[in-house]
Chain A
Amino acid sequence: MSDKKYWQSFGERNNSEAFQKAKSDGNEFPESLPMEGLDGKGLLDAKHPRRDFLKYLGFSTAAATLAASCEMPVRHVVPYLNKPDNLIPGVADYYATTYTNGGDVVPVVAKVRDGRPIKLEGNTLSSFSKTGTSARVQASVLDLYDMARLRYPVQLSDGKASEVSTFEAFDKLAADALAAAGGPVVLLTGTLNSPTTKQIITEFLAKFPGSRHVQYDADSYSGMLLANEATYGKRAIPSYNFENAKVVVSLGADFLGTWLGSEEFSRQWSTLRKVSAKNPEMSKHYQFESLLSTTGANADERYTHRPTETGAVALALLAELGGSGIGSVSAPALPEKLKAGVKKAAKDLTDNKGKALVVCGSNNVNIQIIVNAINEAIGASGSTINWGAPSQTRQGVDSEMNALVADLNDGKVGALLVYGVNPAYDYYDAGKFKSGLKKTKTSISFNDRLDETSELTKLVLPAPHFLESWGDAEGKTGYFSFLQPTIAPLFKTRPFQDSLLKWSGNAKTYDVVLKEYWIGKLGSVEAWEKALQEGVIEPATEAASGVSYNNSKVADAATAIGAIKKGGKFEVVLYQKIMMGIGAQANNPWLQELPDPITKAAWDNYAIVSPKFAKDTWNLDLGDRRQADGYEVFPTKQVIKVKAGNKELSLPAVIIPGTNNEVIGIAVGYGRSSANPENTVNFIGKAAAGVGKNAFPWLSFNGTTVDWYAADADFEKTKEEYKVAQSQTHNTAEGRTEVVKELTLDTFKKEPGFVMNEREEELKPFGGIEKFEEQGTLYPIYDKPGIKWGMSIDLNSCTGCAACVVACYAENNVPIVGKSEVLRFHDMHWLRIDRYYSTPSNNLDSAEDVQVVFQPMLCQHCDNAPCENVCPVNATNHSQEGLNQMAYNRCIGTRYCANNCPYKVRRFNWADYTGADSFPNNQDQSTVGKLDPAVFQMNDDLTRMVLNPDVVVRSRGVMEKCSFCVQRLQDGKLKAKKENRPLADMADIQTACQQACSTNAIVFGNANDSKTNISTTRAENKERLFYVIEEVHTLPNVSYLAKVRHSDAAFGAGEEKKEEATTEKHS
């Protein structure tokens, strides 16, 4: 264990000079103080001498005191005229509703405070989100208050939008336009899985002969849909049961991040990753991919390949497995390492027939046919793959969209109605779509803003946000969930369905249709109301359904895969980031500022390259101290011009270990821009404007489906540089070791107490684990007579998905600082996820050898907290319940505490990010320095409606940090007191991060009570339990459970070496 080195930055890995400096200085604040104008002269000769400073200080203090004392503002309290019965001001209501976005369906419960939805949580009754949600779902509540949303219906001519004053007027315009269309009407939407909406669409289309409905998914799953049609006769995507899969092999499917329903899959996957001394078994997860994805980072064994080799890997796997009736193929040639990996995976799959699963992220029909064959060979159907309740979240087929675009260009479409999709931005051939759209006589958009597509249509009637809407959704066949409005529409919007109903001559509105449909289906009003209240209807038992497998296409598919040619020197992989996806939520500052789990970069997309690429291109050896510093210390990165055919894109190169050496990765979802870039800020939004570059044009059509790679790519060096806001290197643990602990499953089985023994040995001089608290310090031990809050984080379950980080943003009013401030290390996350690399073979060039550990890092609420001792004004101190408290109003901003914090979790408000200061001038851009537009987006009155009223908004010059969601603790305790009962564990109190976590990696509660979840978790996992930097006697209240990796080779290498060393000594 001890010879495995974990590193966050190359500097740390090489112990470079910059790193040593950072380490030895304890340099929390890498900037030097601005002492300009001194030039070695005395202080009084400086541009701003100290005496002047004191004069101004004295004057302004006196002036402020006078100004503040002269007058208290008169505040008003305005009660309701007629208060709704069920509403209590100051007490939150919770409504079950559903997050829907481009086919994604996640049932949620919205916290509504005084009429404003402010937070979303998973719905515990739903199989999709019962344990948690994702970063994008958490952030979607902010989209409701997006300033750039279109606030009224508009008519567009020559790119100019003019308001249509009433819906009646709009209906008239639309009716006239539809009548004058002179051709079939085409309804273009994303995947729709609402039963009532589908019914309304059918009715609408019946009124317009020749019309049709096209579903288009920018992140297309056509390959899978068509492959399933070919082999199973069903154009559908099955549902997956990762909880039954002892062996999971993923061929580039980022199922813990961006592939289909990550919330559900994460939960399922994590159930087999909860390992304890009592039950030392866990699943084995292989990942074959080109870039290091979140899922790959969590895999036990990981192999990389070029994107064009995906099919070959699948074929090789099938060839290894074989089996009668499956369809036999011969193994193609593969690089040695990959071949060994396939063999190993195949063996584990064979050994676990019926308990194994292979998933593939490719959009190629033939590859998916082979994957289906593999799953047949390992008996996945019926156990890990369920055809009884197919997923309804992706139904778009690329060729249908292509046909539509061709029709648009041929003038065969009279009217195009667009709802919820943005092909002018995210279609691979957006130019062709745009020209087709221009040729279309009538075009109406229902999108929420004047996005790239809407601004080219003639009429726009914005649809309300899902939190303002009625609706239903069917995520899987038979699994229904419902939407109910949690707030009255903020703007003059109308549901898309209302318009269709009206235009097809139906006088009813959508809410009435929805109600009637469900009352009819469920039998009574009561049943409908119960369904609405619970938010979901799910079958009690999972429907099982057999499918007949047809192997006739396998041979053809194998031939077709054989024909996929290896690309040129490099191949470009287009991927989705966990927070940005296809960029539909690009104007969400929470998501933009969320660092990517792997690259730790916020606010941009970039070209991901491997360390070997850097070595070959710039002769940059990241294994060398000095050179690593050159790359890493400053945020400026070299810009490369990536080229493939006629496409080129200049992007900064970010070096990520674990990337295949012949692959360049570019994320889609960035580079949102209006036709006239000046309009982007108003039409698409301040946060989205100017962030990254659009990589969608790099997608290509292979004849049947859209490919997410470009095979023949190359690049050119440029002289340009670009700053990338990476947050990972901002803090160091100052060379202290044992920040993360990890062991292999074999070691754990042989010696469950491996970690515990190691700790025991380390703490022996101070009395061992038992007596360390008393004997390791001179300070007295304080009593915790009642509650002692504690948190446990399981590194084995944490996938790094960052849902907790966004949940923390939303719950605690954490400010957005903008890219320029992140670049200056001023990011404000209370909870961050540290990504640690380790390379057992110590070879950076070998992507297979890179391993990753994610560690959520937040205030550890140390019982012997170093920050508390150094605060000159006692603004941070300890509570009786073990909380490290922060009294913002007492803080004078010396930042000693942050300097003294070994975990680097304290955040300083360098500027007035929130508009909370008493002095409005603190946001004056001319005096306090420039802040990014996104900060002002968050400061808008509309956006501020998302703030949690129970948490104070911090002002400039104060320190802040994780509070263990103290507002929730207080609220939970009060609830128990009011009901005259003891605190109910888990039911009364959950922290925001805990509630958002799909994998239940975070457990929180009263550690003084032996029956609580936190106490039992710690007791049952005492072998894996450790505290970060325990040896400095901070006595943290956050404990971690060591990561157990189900791999032998990688970790074993270190151990073998150790054993060898011992043997040598003995001999």
Chain B
Amino acid sequence: MTNHRPIVKKLKFTILLLSLVSLGNRLFAQDGKALFQTNCASCHNPIKKIIGPALQGVTTRVTDQKLLYDWIHNNVKVLASGNSYFTGLYNEYSKTPMNTFPNLSDADIKAILGYVETYKAPTASPGDNSPGPKAEESDNTLLYGILTIILAIIMFVLLQVNASLRKMSDDKEGIPSAEPVPFWRNKVYISLMILVLFVLGGYWVVEGAVGIGRQQGYQPEQPIFYSHKVHAGINQVSCLYCHSNAMDSKHATVPPLNVCMNCHAAINDYTHGPKLYREDGAEVDGTAEIQKLYSYAGYDPKTSTYKTAEAKPVEWIKIHNLPDHVFFSHAQHTKAGQVQCQTCHGPIQEMDEVKQFAPLSMGWCINCHRTTKVNFPDSNGNGGNKFYSIYERYHKDLKTGKMDSVTVENIGGTDCQKCHY
């Protein structure tokens, strides 16, 4: 799963930021950053006031380290003790209580505060702009096509030349030869042409018919420009954070707006990431898109309040559509089958606007079922999913070496009623 995937992508702006601090500090700061993002970031920003106050400078504002640590551990206790600074703060932020963090060690808090105090607003580096809409991936089909046509014409011309020369030499040598037939009346050419057209036409018709209802590459414009690249790619948000039911249900489910607002109550602008572009090349204002989210959620960022009456759900356009007669369960594949999201959805972490990666055709499904190995216990009966204990013959065959692995097909994965009922 994505959340277990090692971090592979690093961003230039983080590297820039990190290069400012020493190597030792880097580890320290990174530790603090992680802790900050897990525990604090939903309400605090180092330099911006969101649900809670901006934290930078807190060590100068509260000089008593023990008091500060106590506050972080259990603010309720500190409030109860009647500390005037924190009481004032509490009242200022409309008496929204802060969570308690009894589990954070002093070292953790030190790391967090270290990160907060050294934090600098990231500057968008000039070299970071994406080069506009991606260059067309080099597709050689056209080139080969043109080459084929040129070669065919050359061949045709040479054949004509050859025929003329032979006729001339025949004439010279006095061998009688038939009047040349122009190529458009030559039966060989005509029948060849018809054959080619028939094959091409047939191929086109069959392909077209098979493709009815398939939408590979479908990439509609969504009501909000939501970039999976920014969320899942750059910021490494786990797929399951938003698509939280993928492990339990047939539907992976599009997240409800309260999940969006978990983060976006704090993240109210898009300034640090790479510039965003639509497929047509138009630039997207990320901050404006977040504002759209607020209008859907009925959220007023100024007062941090919700007007539930104005809230309305986002009508996303469904990209991955299966016909009614197909039963597909995400849970079956993600949890039981332990298939990665990307196997079917493609490099989703690199897509701004999502497009359908796989054909979602039956052949595509079946091919995967034929080749994918299930989580079967090994030949000694160790590991694997205990559900498969009922397949006694396979266990025997694995032991004797008659089989080397068990595929989805072996356990009936290509039966009609695995998906159609």
A885 to B416, CA, bound (A): 7
Contact flags A1001-1019 to B (C-beta < 8 A → 1, else 0): 0000010110000000000
**A786-B253 CB under 8 A given contacts A76-B316, A77-B318, A977-B336:** no
912-971 of chain A: CB within 8 A of chain B = 916, 950-953, 963, 966-967, 970
Interface assignment of A982: CB less than 8 Å from any CB of chain B: yes
Decide: A77 near B254, CB < 8 A? Known: A879-B412, A879-B415, A880-B412. Answer: yes
A72-102 interface bits toward B, Cβ cutoff 8 Å, 1 = contact, 0 = none = 1011111111110000111100000000000
Evaluate whether A79 and B212 lie within 8 angstroms (CB atoms) in the complex, with A74-B220, A963-B417 already known: no
Interface centre among A78, A90, A91 (most CB of B within 10 A): A90
Contact between chains at B387 and A887 (CB < 8 Å): no
CA of A519 to CA of B394 in the docked complex: distance in angstroms?
56
Number of A-B contacts (CB under 8 A): 161
Q: Is B416 touching A787 in the complex (CB atoms < 8 A)?
A: no
* Contact assessment for A90 and B250 in the assembled complex, using a CB-CB cutoff below 8 Å: yes
In the bound complex, residues from chain B placing their C-beta under 8 Å from that of A78 are 313-316
Q: How many residues of B contact A (CB 8 A)?
A: 56
Cα(A870)–Cα(B336), bound, Å: 36
Residue B135, interface by CB 8 Å: no
Q: Say yes or no for B208: interface residue by CB 8 A criterion.
A: yes
Rounded to whole Å, the gap between the CB of A113 and the closest CB of chain B is 11
> For residue B257, which residues in chain A have a CB less than 8 angstroms away from its CB?
79-82
A429 contacts the other chain (Cβ, under 8 Å)? no
Query: Do the beta carbons of A786 and B391 come within 8 Å of each other?
Result: yes
Within 8 A of A (CB), among B371-395: 385-394
Report Cα–Cα, A879/B418, bound state, in Å: 9
With a cutoff of 8 Å between Cβ atoms, the chain A residues found around residue B385 in the complex are 977, 980
Cα separation A397 to B228 with both chains bound (whole Å): 70
Cα A970 to Cα B336 in complex, Å, equals 12
Within 969-1013 of A, Cβ neighbours of B (below 8 Å) are at 970, 973-974, 976-978, 980-983, 1006, 1008-1009
Whether the pair B390, A80 counts as a contact (CB closer than 8 A) is no
Is there an interface contact between A75 and B317, defined as CB atoms closer than 8 Å?
A: yes
Chain B: minimal CB distance from A313 (Å): 52
Q: Given that A880-B415, A887-B416 are contacting pairs, would A82 and B390 also be in contact in the complex, using a CB cutoff of 8 Å? A: no
B248 located at the interface, meaning its Cβ lies under 8 Å from any Cβ of chain A in the complex = yes
Alpha-carbon distance between A173 and B267 when the two chains are bound, in angstroms: 54
Q: Which of A878-904 contact B (CB under 8 A)?
A: 879-881, 883, 885-890
Q: Find chain B residues with CB under 8 A from A83 CB.
A: 256, 258-259
CB atoms of A69 and B318 under 8 A apart: no
Interfacial chain A residues near B327, Cβ < 8 Å: 950, 952, 967, 970
What is the 8 Å Cβ interface bit string for chain B, positions 300-315, against chain A (1 contact, 0 not)? 0000000000011111
Task: Report Cα–Cα, A81/B224, bound state, in Å.
Answer: 15
Please measure, in the bound complex, the distance between the C-alpha atom of A883 and the C-alpha atom of B336, giving whole angstroms: 22
A279 at the interface (CB under 8 A from B): no
Contact for A974 among B297, B323, B331, B411, CB less than 8 A: B331
Instruction: Verify A89–B245 contact, CB threshold 8 A.
Output: yes
The complex places the Cα of A883 from the Cα of B421 at a distance, in Å, of 12
Complex alpha-carbon distance, A3 and B312, angstroms = 74
Judge if B251 is at the interface, Cβ distance under 8 Å.
Answer: yes
Q: Which A residues touch B250, using CB under 8 A?
A: 90-91
How far, in Å, is B102 (CB) from chain A's closest CB? 24
Q: Mark B314-351, 1 if CB is under 8 A from A, else 0.
A: 11111001011101010110011000000000000000
Which residues, 331 to 369 on A, are CB-close (under 8 Å) to B?
none
A879–B417 CB distance below 8 A: yes
Q: A82-B256, A951-B421 are in contact. Are A976 and B387 (CB under 8 A)?
A: yes
> Closest CB of chain A to B419's CB: distance in Å?
9
Pick from B251, B315, B336, B392: contact of A76, CB below 8 A.
B315
| Contact B418–A983 (Cβ < 8 Å) | no
Per the bound structure, the CA–CA distance linking A75 and B222 in Å amounts to 12
B122 contacts chain A at the CB level, 8 A cutoff: no
- Closest residue of A by beta carbon distance from B259: A83
Most buried by B among A786, A879, A888, A951: A786
Q: Which residue of B lies closest to A963 (CB)?
A: B421
B209 CB within 8 Å of chain A = yes
B215 contacts partner chain A, Cβ-Cβ < 8 Å: yes
CA A886 to CA B317, docked complex, whole Å = 32
Residues of A within 8 A of B268 (CB): none
Interface size on A, residues (CB 8 A): 54
Q: How far is the CA of A390 from the CA of B141 in the complex (A)?
A: 85
Chain B residues within 8 Å of A72, by CB: 213, 215, 321
Q: Give the residues in chain A near B187, CB-CB below 8 Å.
A: none
Would A69 and B417 count as touching, CB distance under 8 A?
A: no
Q: Known contacts A83-B256, A91-B249; is A65 also within 8 Å of B209 by CB?
A: yes
Residues of B within 8 A of A963 (CB): 417, 421
Partner of A952, one of B245, B410, B420: B420
Task: Give the shortest distance, in Å, between B386 (CB) and chain A (any CB).
Answer: 5
- CB atoms of B297 and A81 under 8 A apart: yes
Q: Is A40 an interface residue (CB 8 A)?
A: no
For A880, the chain B residues whose CB sits under 8 A away are 411-412, 415
- Which B residues between 96 and 122 are near A, CB-CB below 8 angstroms? none
Cβ contact within 8 Å between A786 and B316: no
A89-B253 contact in complex given A69-B208, A980-B387, C-beta closer than 8 Å = yes
Q: Kindly report which residue of chain B lies nearest to residue A890, judged by CB atoms.
A: B416
Contact with B along A106-126 (1 / 0, CB 8 A): 000000000000000000000
Q: Does A14 lie at the interface of the complex (its beta carbon under 8 Å from any beta carbon of B)?
A: no
In the complex the two chains form, is B329's CB within 8 Å of A952's CB?
A: no
Contacts of B249 in A (CB 8 A): 88-91
Contact assessment for B321 and A977 in the assembled complex, using a CB-CB cutoff below 8 Å = no
Closest to A77 in B: B318
- For B323, list chain A residues within 8 Å (CB): 889
- A84's nearest neighbour on chain B, judged by CB, is B256
- With contact pairs A74-B220, A90-B249, A881-B412 given, residues A81 and B391 touching in the complex (Cβ less than 8 Å): no
- Cβ contacts under 8 Å, B386 to chain A: 980-982
Q: Which residue of A lies closest to B311 (CB)?
A: A81
Q: How far is the CA of A1008 from the CA of B393 in the complex (A)?
A: 11
Is A31 part of the binding interface, using a Cβ–Cβ cutoff of 8 Å?
no
- A680-699 vs B: 1/0 string, CB under 8 Å? 00000000000000000000
Asked if B217 is an interface residue, CB under 8 A from chain A, the answer is no
B417 and A77 form a contact (CB under 8 A): no
CB A1061 to nearest CB in B, in angstroms, measures 50
Asked whether, in the complex, the Cβ of A785 is within 8 Å of the Cβ of B253, the reply is: no
B258 contacts A82, CB within 8 Å?
Answer: yes
Which residues 294-326 in A have Cβ within 8 Å of B in the complex? none
Closest A-chain residue to B384, C-beta based? A980
Contact with A along B193-222 (1 / 0, CB 8 A): 000000000000000110011010000100
Would B325 and A889 count as touching, CB distance under 8 A? Answer: yes
Some 16 contacts from A to B, beta carbons below 8 A apart, are A75-B318, A77-B316, A77-B318, A80-B258, A81-B257, A91-B250, A786-B388, A786-B391, A879-B416, A883-B417, A887-B417, A889-B323, A974-B329, A977-B385, A981-B387, A982-B387
Q: Which residues of B contact A (CB under 8 A)?
A: 208-209, 212-213, 215, 220, 245, 248-251, 253-259, 297, 311-318, 321, 323-325, 327, 329, 331-332, 335-336, 385-394, 410-412, 415-418, 420-421
Given contacts A69-B209, A885-B417, A950-B327, list 16 more A-B pairs with CB under 8 A: A65-B212, A77-B316, A78-B315, A80-B257, A81-B313, A91-B245, A91-B250, A881-B412, A890-B416, A953-B324, A966-B417, A966-B421, A967-B421, A977-B336, A978-B336, A983-B390
